[in-house]
Structure 1
Amino acid sequence: MKPVFDENGLAMQAGDIRCFYYDAVTMEYAGWSDEYINAGVSMPGNSTDIDPGEMVAGKVFLFMGTGWRQDEDHRGETVYATADTSSSTVDYIGPVRKGYTTVAPSGPYQKWDGKKWITDTDAQHAADVEAADQKKAALLAEAQEKISLWQTELQLGIISDEDKESLIAWVQFIKAVQAIDTSSAPNINWPAKPE
């Protein structure tokens, strides 16, 4: 027999009842148990006898005081800020907040067009040019280091014919690298280093 409650929520008649529990803070469904309620006692705290119904994947039941409402539950999912692609983990109940998406950007140079991520060609080109500038500087530094001893030997007139040929090859390499226009990155044909 089911208990009968008065206007204060106290059982006037004892009985068995299924209690559906909810979290005191989030109000989300927390499970159920069958309880025996004695006369003069109320239902356990944060519970109701209203059945929330069948669970749906990706949703959570929230108790609204007089019944249950289903809401989206993305907690634990990674979302991405559409302004800067930064990621964070959802820690709230409800739909994904405005300015975020669950769709991951497909690469480092992405921007949100309102519906999907697209490649930010300007940012990608700027990064390619910067990488080409760094490679150019590294190649020139390596070449300068390679020829420094030979230049000294040349000035002193003690350079061998073989080293002189190497010096000429490396100086030609330096000229070819200096002529590279990095603004065409990533489509650059870098000269081969001398043997």
Structure 2
Amino acid sequence: MSDDFFPEDELMPVEPPPLEWWQKEGVTPPVICNVDSVTGEFLGASEADYSPLEPGVWLTPAHAYQCEPPVLETGFAAIRTEGVTGWQRVADHRGLTVYSTATGETAVWHALGELPPEWTLEAPSSEFDEWVDDEWVLDEAAQAVALTKVAARKKSLLAQYSTNMINTLQNAVDLEMASAGEVEALNAWKVYGVYLNRVEPGAELTPSDWPSSPNDTAMAGWLETQGFEELSPQA
């Protein structure tokens, strides 16, 4: 191979390819706002794509607009639909717990917009609240009935337990098998039964209105096994 050097062998500078129209200085892609195809809710912003065959044309995909993104506020969403200029602000309670104004039952809300009249974000303070004039109001009569029923069931369960204790201890006495402690316990349970019988179930009963039993711990355990739950009155 010859080591001779010829001028025509020098590398010639390569001209860079001309810039495409969207690559030129000062050309900035516009911002496009993407929206939900059904609700028109703003989903996010991005840059528009260029049209390689149409100089100066930027592509706007379906369900998108060339515009400034909305300013989002807590508790609201922004929507934009065909034929409407600008963003519309709508209430957004999605994911929140709502309450039926008819029954007080709960649900998780999934729709945009204001809540219909049959639902509210305000929670009732008790199971006896009624929706009156756009607020929850305690139904005192219904609460009193429920409290009375609960008190009656409590009295019945306490009487059942004390009667069982009296019968068991009385058998020991009748058979002359009772210890001194059992004789004392029998008398205490009989006294308790008398006081318990004097309790009149009602809505105004307080814990101090119930007599103390010879074994309050065992009595409380008995109530729990029977699925009993106290009902606290609401102010």
- TM-score, length of structure 2 as denominator length: 0.66
Q: Check if 1:20 corresponds to 2:33.
A: yes
1:143 to 147, 162, 167: 162
SS of equivalent residue, structure 1 residue 32? strand
**1:5 alignment counterpart:** none
**2:211 alignment counterpart:** 191
- TM superposition shift of 1:117: 1.8
C-alpha contact (below 8 Å) 1:78/1:90 kept by paired residues: yes
Aligned length: 182
CA distance in 2, matches of 1:184, 1:45: 64
- Higher strand proportion: 1
C-alpha contact (below 8 Å) 1:52/1:61 kept by paired residues: no
Distance 1:155 1:95, change over 3 A: same
Instruction: Write the deviation string for residues 30-75 of structure 1: whole angstroms up to 9, x where unpaired.
Output: 1222224321874212111233542232221212213232211111
CA distance in 2, matches of 1:35, 1:19: 6
**2:97 alignment counterpart:** 78
Instruction: Structure 2: give runs of 5+ residues left out of the alignment.
Output: 1-26, 216-235
C-alpha contact (below 8 Å) 2:196/2:211 kept by paired residues: yes
C-alpha contact (below 8 Å) 2:45/2:69 kept by paired residues: no
1:29 to 21, 42, 45: 42
Q: CA RMSD in A?
A: 2.8
- TM superposition shift of 1:27: 1.3
CA distance in 2, matches of 1:190, 1:53: 63
- TM-score, length of structure 1 as denominator length: 0.77
* Percent identical: 25
SS of equivalent residue, structure 2 residue 29? strand
User: More displaced, 179-188 or 66-75?
Assistant: 179-188
- TM superposition shift of 1:133: 1.7
C-alpha contact (below 8 Å) 2:80/2:88 kept by paired residues: yes
User: More displaced, 157-166 or 24-33?
Assistant: 157-166
User: More displaced, 152-161 or 42-51?
Assistant: 152-161
User: More displaced, 78-87 or 180-189?
Assistant: 180-189
Q: Check if 1:57 corresponds to 2:74.
A: yes
Instruction: Write the deviation string for residues 152-177 of structure 1: whole angstroms up to 9, x where unpaired.
Output: 34545666676555434422321221
CA distance in 2, matches of 1:184, 1:101: 30
